[in-house]
Amino acid sequence: MPGRLTDLIDIPDAFWVRSDVIDALRSRDIGRLFALLRQYAGASQTRLAIACDMTQPKVSGIMRGIARVETLTVFERIADGLNMPGHARSVLGLAPTADPVGAQAALARRPERPGRSIPPGDDRAALPVTPGSGTFSAESETTEEEEDPVRRRTFVGLTGASLIGAVLAETSGSRHDSEALASALATYWPSAEGITDDGPPSMSALASAVAQAKRDYQACRYAKVANDLPPLLARLRAACTVLEGQARSQACTLSAEAHHVAASVLLKTGDKGLGWVAADRSMQAARVSEDPVTIGSSARIVTHAMMRNGHLKAAASTASSLASNLSGDLRSKSPESLSVYGSLLLRGAVAAAQCDDRHAAYELLTEAEDSSARLGEDRNLRWTAFGPTNARLHRINIAVTLGDAGTALDVARTVDLSKVKVTERKAAFFVDTARAFLQCRKDDKALLSLRAAEEIAHEEVAGRPAVHRLVRDLISSAAPSTRHHAEDFAQRIGVPQ
């Protein structure tokens, strides 16, 4: 029965001695080999693509006979990716591995030693997924010869996403023109674009549009969000002007959320000035709404903007004080209020870590974790993605920010990725893991983690200056064998030279 995408391809030894497999290898019919792997090992096209360093459409074409594998380097890559034993490689016409017995032994023990503990500083410390589980565990011992193909396959297999060839090819899709968004943020009065003669604005239509912008942001479709926001902000501005009473409060709540999204996209792409303007607009609208939860939510993006502009101590203290105010304003701790309150504390904890205030960082983090425990499960209320798993992801970020790479990797091994439903959060997890690996001077694993993040969310990696800096750091410190691949990766995502 096929496993989940995040599971490794578990190929039994008996597979490689089947007569139909031998025939496929002898005729170099990779399409037939892939079909047999799907039939007998439950390997999906996506997992085959991950293992063999291909795109899913390429695997599909090979299986349908539209494309053929003809070059020696591709045959080698497939054999390495599938951890093909020596006798199978020989039938395929390739040289056996340097240690075929060791390679087969490693293949056999992969699914059977999920609990083995490896010290964070050990060269073997990686983060593969335990077969049948979404939780990280330490990798079993590997030899020097098998390390590269196995780690590439297992680590990139964590992504739970396909190799989105079409998206990766259209690199320009991660770019967006911020001029329209800048103009929308610089307008302080209703425009003709936001006012019609068809009666009062439709609150349901506005709410639907804001929710779609939130969904697109959390899915890392940043270019789409930036293109859709300017007319939406104009419509919301008009609604806040012409409506009255409860309807105006609702419109202001939606305006606060839409400006929150605008600020988030701008800050991610490095436009700190416009990001601050959008964050301030979010808070202004939130205050007019007079809804404490909306105010607390907008406080998160204000804190984020302060951090991006270098005001780290102020950001940490602001998040702490606004969280206290929010707690005092709420008569009952509803799930929504707990989510916003906890998320605000997490933002403050990250700010404290960035200004090297270890005590404040962990104090705020602990309080946020208490809130997540009260919430009881991971939810996306008020678009916070808050819950116990999200708090754990922030613990990883804070640990690596404070230079505790070993702690960050230890925590990462306990994360159940199946509970991380928001694409942006999952990609951020892999970026933080890459930072931890880079601190440990494990450059190959740092690169694999960045590749995993890109395969999940191309725009989250290609469009972020912070990730570009991380890639440049990786290139400058990596060994020649890894540096070459890191340079190729940098070129693919458009890292400026």
Pair 109, 215 in one domain? no
Contact between 242 and 200 under an 8 Å Cβ cutoff? The reply is: yes
Which DSSP symbol is given to 220?
T
Look at residue 199 in the predicted model and tell me its pLDDT: 61
Whether 430 is in a domain gets the answer: yes
Whether 68 is in a domain gets the answer: yes
Look at residue 115 in the predicted model and tell me its pLDDT: 35
CA quadruple 218, 379, 372, 298: dihedral sign: positive
Whether 216 is in a domain gets the answer: yes
The per-residue pLDDT for range 430-453, each reduced to its tens digit, is 999 999 999 999 999 999 999 999
126-135, 282-291, 337-346: segment of lowest average pLDDT: 126-135
Contact between 457 and 424 under an 8 Å Cβ cutoff? The reply is: yes
The Cα 215–Cα 261 span in angstroms is: 10
Pair 184, 92 in one domain? no
Domain count for the chain, please give it: 3
C-alpha 62 chain-centroid distance = 29
- Angstrom CA distances, 461 to 104, 149, 394, 412, 446, stand at 35, 23, 18, 19, 13
The per-residue pLDDT for range 359-394, each reduced to its tens digit, is 999 999 999 999 999 999 999 999 999 999 999 999
Look at residue 189 in the predicted model and tell me its pLDDT: 65
Q: Which domain holds residue 44?
A: 13-159
Picking from 241, 269, 297, the residue at the C-terminal end of a domain is: 269
Whether 244 is in a domain gets the answer: yes
Pair 134, 258 in one domain? no
The per-residue pLDDT for range 199-224, each reduced to its tens digit, is 678 899 999 999 999 999 999 999 99
Whether 164 is in a domain gets the answer: no
Pair 52, 125 in one domain? yes
Look at residue 105 in the predicted model and tell me its pLDDT: 38
pLDDT band at 39 (very low <50, low <70, confident <90, very high): confident
pTM, 2 dp: 0.65
Contact between 137 and 125 under an 8 Å Cβ cutoff? The reply is: no
Pair 37, 89 in one domain? yes
Pair 452, 479 in one domain? yes
Pair 56, 132 in one domain? yes
7-16, 101-110, 209-218, 311-320: segment of lowest average pLDDT: 101-110
Pair 152, 230 in one domain? no
Pair 127, 196 in one domain? no
Phi, psi angles (nearest 5°) of residue 64: -90, 0
Whether 40 is in a domain gets the answer: yes
In terms of Cβ atoms closer than 10 Å to its own Cβ (0-12, 13-18, 19+), residue 242 is middle
pLDDT band at 68 (very low <50, low <70, confident <90, very high): confident
The Cα 195–Cα 174 span in angstroms is: 31
Q: Which residue has the higher pLDDT, 28 or 138?
A: 28
Whether 386 is in a domain gets the answer: no
Whether 36 is in a domain gets the answer: yes
Picking from 245, 269, 293, the residue at the C-terminal end of a domain is: 269
Pair 63, 105 in one domain? yes
Pair 185, 67 in one domain? no
Pair 155, 233 in one domain? no
Picking from 253, 269, 285, the residue at the C-terminal end of a domain is: 269
